[in-house]
Chain A
């Protein structure tokens, strides 16, 4: 395998060849500072599309006073896309968003969940039964507002065995 033939025009003709002048490091410095500035500026400019706050309600939202959910009830809050479970141990909030590609799962008569998009199925506790879903449905952290209302934090998922006592 041989080198491709070099373009003769790339050969500097002896007549015009000269030393790179020593003092031209100044030019290089200029060039580099120019490039650096450009890069920094670009990086700065690219910060812009990432706002400090998104125009949306926060991850935490109230779902009302505890007595809104009688013991043993499974209350679906469609506008929030969660299911509030209350049993003797306390409250839990199940995120109905399918862990596969984010469709909202629907509740089957038997209490299990089915994702309409790609057929994932979850049992009543949110464990994957079948389908492409990589993991169980998330339980969301529940806290109390100063006035006692329940506050769900979509931002933090908790284990299925984490109850918020009534």
Chain B
């Protein structure tokens, strides 16, 4: 008894950490394997994966930001009142009487924007390193879903402060959801099948943005979307493991040189050795010929890297939150539209297109883009270049070319539409379906499609075609976003800078 008491600390520790000092690869692996939080990752990690240039830690940053958002969001819920009468005041009070409230809100805001940015970057990284091929195809699709969910989260959160910015951004968004009517009207279907109307009323719970919409957005923002996102997140990570960890070029090992530990190779190349499961499954399991050569144990190598990313991300967020206040404009006023009323920045590219056709810009093109992205792994099955940035120098060149082309083309189009105008400015009477079919957005799509198709044919490589297309879209997205953010003023007119805006 007395000994038991004496041993109590050890016993307790042993019951939690069931291994001795981390003085061996084995115990290190056990740390990972036996730790709930760590075992999502493999016990050993390939040196190539540890290089920052492989992933730049983007996926991890996205995860960290999501975690930060969950924490800060939960804390903010303590004060936030989802009612049109109190929402705005409660948000204001955060900065006035809530300790760390201002900081908390700022961090939440910047982290939200950051997450969108990072997720996009993560997607680009995965694409340009060709890490969507083969087994990873489905995980790429899951990633797409996560991207959409991220945007959804950010968008729903946008309304909650109930200020002018929020109110009118959401009003625009809701009416974009309504825009399928353009088509159904053109086809005369609206009476029977009113998709747009359905979407909008589901979103707002009334015909205009009001208390109903606020509650719905609140629920979406704090319950529905996060839960769904977490679920897909689990799938995402789980698939990473099951699809063989981080992708890397076939010759990654070779490029790292022979892995020699204690003077001799652990697993000679090409040995027929496999890990367990032989009795359970026929054929070879995923790990075969992926011996621990060129790998190091995740503890501490991987985790200290991850810790660093965590720390730096947190620091960045804290700095942003401390230095820059999240915007909060006047109390929402349904009778006075903001001018210009701008959607969140990541939708501004679309808003530029929406300014011609709500349906094409707000529904069709995004849908095409997302669908196209989802289909990429199934259309492009080239595996050999997988894992290499831009699939090598030729790809790099094509990406660069496409970027230049897209930039030139988009800028030209913008110049044209701003200075010359578009169909409506020449034939004011032209029916809506004409606009819906032929507007800058559709022009972009067609142009980029042709461009990339040409490359695909010339290089006889779907990968190259995909790269061209992806690059075009990415550049177009960036330019349009910049243009709409900084060069569009009141009444969606063009201004070189907001200092030229007419006073109001």
A contacts B directly (C-beta below 8 A): yes
Name A's B-contacting residues (CB within 8 A).
1, 3, 7, 9-13, 16-18, 20, 27, 30-31, 34, 37, 41, 44-45, 47-53
For B1-25 the 0/1 string (1 means CB < 8 A from A) is 1011001000000100011110111
Residues of B within 8 A of A30 (CB): 304, 307
Contacts of A16 in B (CB 8 A): 23-26
Interface string of B326-353 (1 = CB under 8 A from A): 0000000000000000000000000000
Residues of A within 8 A of B99 (CB): 47-48, 50-52
**Set of chain B residues within 8 Å of A52, measured between Cβ atoms:** 97-99
B75 at the interface (CB under 8 A from A): yes
Which A residues are in CB contact (< 8 Å) with B23?
12, 16-18, 20
Chain B residues, Cβ within 8 Å of A50? 99
- Whether the Cβ atoms of A18 and B24 lie closer than 8 Å is yes
B197 to chain A, nearest CB (A): 40
B38: chain A residues at CB < 8 Å are none
Q: Given that A34-B307, A34-B311 are contacting pairs, would A47 and B100 also be in contact in the complex, using a CB cutoff of 8 Å?
A: yes
Q: How far is the CA of A23 from the CA of B217 in the complex (A)?
A: 53
Q: How far is the CA of A52 from the CA of B95 in the complex (A)?
A: 11
CB distance from A14 to the nearest CB of B (A): 10
CA distance A3 to B101 in the complex (A): 52
Measured between beta carbons, the chain A residues less than 8 angstroms from B100 are 44-45, 47-48
| Separation of A161 and B81 alpha carbons in the complex (Å) | 45
Number of B residues with CB within 8 Å of any CB on chain A = 31
Contact status of A13 and B26, CB under 8 A, knowing A27-B300, A30-B304, A45-B75: yes
Q: Please, which residues of chain A bring their CB within 8 A of the CB of B429?
A: none
Given contacts A1-B1, A18-B24, A20-B23, A37 and B304 within 8 Å (CB-CB) = no
- B461 contacts A by Cβ under 8 Å: no
Q: Whole-angstrom distance between the alpha carbons of A4 and B304 in the complex?
A: 34
Closest 7 CB pairs of A and B: A16-B24, A47-B99, A52-B97, A53-B97, A51-B97, A48-B75, A10-B20
**Which residue of chain A is the closest to B303 with respect to CB atoms?**
A31
Whether B300 pairs with A49 at a CB distance below 8 angstroms is no
With A and B bound together, what is the CA distance between A12 and B4 in angstroms?
A: 24
Contacts beyond the supplied A18-B24, A48-B75, A49-B75: 10 A-B pairs with Cβ under 8 Å: A10-B20, A16-B26, A45-B71, A47-B99, A48-B99, A48-B100, A48-B101, A51-B93, A51-B97, A52-B97
Contacting residues of chain B (255-313) with chain A, CB-CB under 8 angstroms: 300, 304, 307, 311
Q: In the complex, which of the residues A3, A12, A13, A34 contacts B21, with contact meaning CB atoms closer than 8 Å?
A: A12
Q: Measured between C-beta atoms, what is the minimum distance from A22 to chain B in Å? A: 14
For the complex, would chain B's binding face be called helix, strand, loop or mixed by DSSP majority?
Answer: helix
Q: Please report the C-alpha to C-alpha distance between residue A7 and residue B11 in the assembled complex, in whole angstroms.
A: 12
Task: Give B99's nearest chain A residue, CB to CB.
Answer: A47
Report the bound CA distance from A144 to B314 in whole Å: 52
Determine the residue in chain A with the shortest Cβ distance to B14.
A10
Choose among A1, A11, A18, A27 the residue that contacts B20 (Cβ–Cβ < 8 A). A11
Q: Collect the chain B residues with CB atoms within 8 Å of residue A12's CB.
A: 20-21, 23-24, 26-27
Interface class of chain A by DSSP:
loop
Question: In the bound complex, do residue A37 and residue B4 qualify as a contact, i.e. CB atoms below 8 Å apart?
Answer: no
Bound Cα distance A27, B37 (Å)? 20
In the assembled complex, B398 has its CB within 8 A of some CB on chain A:
no
CB-CB under 8 A from A49, the residues of chain B are: 75, 78
Q: Which of the listed residues B7, B99, B300, B314 has the most CB atoms from chain A within 10 Å of its own CB?
A: B99
C-alpha gap A53/B97 in the complex (Å): 6
Taking CB atoms, residues of chain A closer than 8 Å to B79 are 51
Contact, CB under 8 Å: B307 / A7: no
Tell whether B104 is near chain A: CB-to-CB under 8 Å: yes
- Across the interface, which residues of A come within 8 angstroms of B75, CB to CB? 45, 48-49
CA distance A44 to B100 in the complex (A): 7
What is the 8 Å Cβ interface bit string for chain B, positions 84-102, against chain A (1 contact, 0 not)?
0000000001000111110
Some 22 contacts from A to B, beta carbons below 8 A apart, are A3-B7, A7-B18, A9-B19, A10-B18, A11-B20, A12-B21, A16-B24, A16-B25, A17-B23, A17-B24, A18-B23, A20-B21, A27-B304, A34-B307, A34-B311, A45-B75, A47-B100, A48-B98, A48-B100, A49-B75, A51-B98, A52-B98
Complex Cα–Cα for A13 and B21 (A)? 12
Is B3 in contact with A1, judged by CB distance below 8 angstroms? yes
Write out the residue numbers on chain B whose beta carbons fall within 8 Å of the beta carbon of A7.
18
Nearest Cβ on chain B to A90's Cβ, whole angstroms: 37
What sequence of 0s and 1s flags, for each residue 197-239 of chain B, a beta carbon within 8 Å of any chain A beta carbon?
A: 0000000000000000000000000000000000000000000
**Which chain B positions have C-beta within 8 A of A47?**
99-100
User: Which residues of chain B have C-beta atoms less than 8 A from A44's C-beta?
Assistant: 100
A10 to B99, CA, bound (A): 47
- In the bound assembly, the distance between CA atoms of A34 and B18 in angstroms comes to 24
Measured in the bound complex, the distance between the Cα atoms of B26 and A52 in whole Å is 52
Flag if A3 contacts B300 (CB, 8 Å).
no
A73 → B minimal CB distance (Å): 39
Closest to A33 in B: B311
CA distance in complex: A47, B104 (Å): 11
Nearest B residue to A54 by beta-carbon distance? B97
Determine the chain A residues whose CB is within 8 A of the CB of B78 once the complex forms.
Answer: 48-49
Give the nearest-CB partner of A45 in chain B: B75
Nearest Cβ in chain A — how far from B24, in angstroms? Answer: 4
CB pair A45–B24 under 8 Å, yes or no, is no
Docked Cα-Cα span, A53 to B96, in Å, equals: 10
CB distance from B2 to the nearest CB of A (A): 8
Q: How far is the CA of A27 from the CA of B104 in the complex (A)?
A: 30
Cα–Cα, bound, A13→B75 (Å): 47
